[in-house]
Amino acid sequence: AQKITQTQPGMFVQEKEAVTLDCTYDTSDQSYGLFWYKQPSSGEMIFLIYQGSYDEQNATEGRYSLNFQKARKSANLVISASQLGDSAMYFCAMSDRGTSYDKVIFGPGTSLSVIP
């Protein structure tokens, strides 16, 4: 069965510093997709970044990058130059076959606090 693990329930980072949020996954599928979503205190779910299992390059979106290590089954999110607005819950998620319209499993989340 597929499973997502986020071992850091809470993280702190100084403003303007970089931070890595850990995500490991377990699947027997060859084709899958990995997502990161952000949930600020206002409650909405915001898509950040996606990595397909066959993508050779690590995904990047602005200040977000996904450190994909397939052999280790890890998909860590790196946020560069943290801002106060980055304080939120961050969820790692995985879908079989790589898209949202397949079943998506979410991890338990990591709460990130950015300190001025």
- Residues of this chain that bind other proteins (CB under 8 A): 33, 35, 37, 39, 43-47, 50, 52, 89, 91, 95, 98-101, 103-106, 108-109
Q: Which is nearer to other proteins, 88 or 114 (CB)?
A: 88
Q: Which is nearer to other proteins, 3 or 16 (CB)?
A: 3
Q: Which is nearer to other proteins, 20 or 39 (CB)?
A: 39
Provide DSSP, 15-59: TTS-EEE--EEE---SSEEEEEEEE-TT---EEEEEEETT--SPP
Q: How far is the CB of 6 from other proteins (least distance, A)?
A: 11
CA distance 2 to 18: 29
